[in-house]
Amino acid sequence: MQDRSGNWCTARGRWGALAFFLAALSAPARGQEPGGEAPPVPQEPLPEPTSGAEPATAAPAEKLEARPPARDPARGYLFLEDQPALLAQWGESPLVERLELGTSAGGRELFGVQFGAAGPRPLAQRATIFLIGGLDGTSLSGSQGVVSVISALLAHPADLPEEAAFVAIPWANPDGLARWRANATGKGRNDRATDDDGDGQVDEDGPDDLDRDGMILEMLLEDPTGPWVRGSDARFLRAAQEGEAPRFLLAREGADDDHDGRFNEDGPGGVILDHNFPVGWEDYRGPESGPWPLSEPDAKALAEMLLARRTAVVIVFQGNHGELASPGGRAQARVLLPEDEPTYRRLVEVFCAHSGRVQPRAPTLSQAREEAWPGSLVDWSYAALGALSMEIGVWGPRVQGGARGPVDAYYKNGGSAEGESPAGAPVVEQAWARWLDDTRGGSGFLDWQPIQLEGEPSAWIGGWEPYTTANPPLDVLPQALHGLDAFVLDLARNLPHLEVELREAKREGKVCLLRARVKNLGTLPSGVGPGAQSSSVRLRLEITPGVTLRAGQLETTVGHLPGRGTSDEYSWLLIAPEGSVLNLVVESAWSPPSVREVRL
């Protein structure tokens, strides 16, 4: 069951043109409902994106061997086998360099590229924006978002700022994405084999396509102690109250393969990479987070790449909440510093302006996902690197508005933004249901149908089809990708740009006085996060032989500067022969050195 709500309006403005063949979606047959009958299915415009960049045309994907037969296997999301076509397209630009990042636990390539405008400074020395797709192992649309942004930016190289570099890793969790792409199972885990149920065997009881319809959905098992009952909208569940019956257990579709009385409790795969980073990792402590932080080769490769660069911005494209989420994967712990909150509020405004979406604030990761999300790349890059990090849900129930509009869809039956609606189901389910009913005629949710399981009194199979809520149907994908390229380009153009402002340089005999301050000419701050020492601005005075410093410091930690901000004034007293040349150098973890030469 999905678990994310939002408050969105229909995306406006032009869509990026992508050459994806649209998959035909057929409505499933409606069957018997367990526990009751299903009910009958019954602001102002935001500014346009300013980049002018349209996503470039991409070659259609090759045939996907493991796609469910209910879908045309030749028409799907791009994946690793599409690299040659993409590189041929991108390689027409001299700006692109392929990166060697190693392989996953399952031996799949961790594919990545770097690119940027032509300029005197090497890409590796520039402030870098990281574009990471599908690290959760389920968000194929997140991977597609990264591919779309790369193509759009490379189509207009003259728009790229000279001092920025981009590192893009579209399929950051190739193992998890491969399994999800094949049959929508695995919860995004990689190929590390784990013994989830502690019985000495690994991966022995995973999901199965019991009714052979080409999809693995959800399964309801009638159980007098089960935690769920049916809501008044019989498609959805709600928490059971005392005395209510019938009750159900919820599991993935599949048999009890190891005959231990549990269903699908030890499926293939092990670690979700976005729980494998050091910050908050200890809060999970389960097989899905890995035996230790950065235990997985692809997570370790990502961390090493971020540590090696001037990492300014980290955008992780994943999730189906449809929002821009800020750091904060721990359910209760505060991660975002108060002084950084205005920056994230501004990010939301810019994101909405380019994408046509509406969200009133920047929720934390745990708020956006409505579950704890510890050990995330977003939290680690913010807390440890001082990077401006965020998660963007490419897909969500507000991305494609229906005829009744987003407010009606979200507040169906007078429900509120928290808890459950009068229909009994969580409001996020109601939001998805309204999207389904208003925009797709109900197609995309398979009503619960009975199935006979050995030793089980009653069982039903149904729920959301794989390409409905976890990832958008392909015909909606262009709308989900709309504005992402303009948002990324806007960030690149507004990165901090540090400059030394010389306030005074005078001498009396051999005694010289210097006064200077640092200015941030960009609209983004020079750094964020609690790691002030590692990401702060530093001002350095470089002196030549024969010059003696009498007062002041050769290196000063300035701290973080806000957008268009200016530091305090710093001064130095020196003994220097006439004609001496000194350098005032300012840099940060984000910004390459800027040098002001001073002649005394």
What is the domain-level CATH number for residue 522?
2.60.40.10
517 and 486 both lie in a single domain: no
Q: What is the mean pLDDT of residues 178-204?
A: 68
Query: HSE-up of 560 (CA within 13 Å, CB side)?
Result: 24
**Tokens 């790449």 found at:** 305
274 and 367 both lie in a single domain: yes
486 and 512 both lie in a single domain: no
Q: Are strands 127-133 and 164-169 parallel, antiparallel or unpaired?
A: parallel
Report which DSSP code applies to 15: P
176 and 285 both lie in a single domain: yes
297 and 313 both lie in a single domain: yes
Residue 482 maps to a domain? yes
Distance CA 360, CA 485 (A): 21
Residue 184 maps to a domain? yes
369 and 505 both lie in a single domain: no
Query: HSE-up of 215 (CA within 13 Å, CB side)?
Result: 17
| Structural domain that includes position 593 | 498-599
Indicate the SS3 state at residue 146.
helix
Q: What is the pLDDT of residues 287-319, one digit of tens each?
A: 788 889 999 999 999 999 999 999 999 999 999
Report the pLDDT value the prediction gives residue 227, as an integer from 0 to 100: 83
pTM, two decimals, is 0.79
- % of the chain at pLDDT higher than 70: 74
394 and 517 both lie in a single domain: no
- Find out whether the peptide bond into 246 is cis, omega within 30 degrees of 0: yes
Distance CA 2, CA 463 (A): 10
What are the tokens at 369?
């996902």
Residue 206 maps to a domain? no
510 and 475 both lie in a single domain: no
CATH of the domain at 296: 3.40.630.10
- Dihedral sign from CA coordinates of 299, 304, 309, 311: positive
Query: HSE-up of 449 (CA within 13 Å, CB side)?
Result: 14
Question: In what helix (H) or strand (E) does residue 569 lie, and over which residues does it extend?
Answer: none
Is pLDDT at 41 greater than 80 in this prediction? no
Report which DSSP code applies to 53: P
Residue 479 maps to a domain? yes
536 and 477 both lie in a single domain: no
Report the pLDDT value the prediction gives residue 263, as an integer from 0 to 100: 54
Is pLDDT at 154 greater than 50 in this prediction? yes
Q: Based on the structure, what is the number of domains in the chain? A: 2
183 and 104 both lie in a single domain: yes
Residue 15 maps to a domain? no
369 and 308 both lie in a single domain: yes
Residue 550 maps to a domain? yes
480 and 541 both lie in a single domain: no
Residue 169 maps to a domain? yes
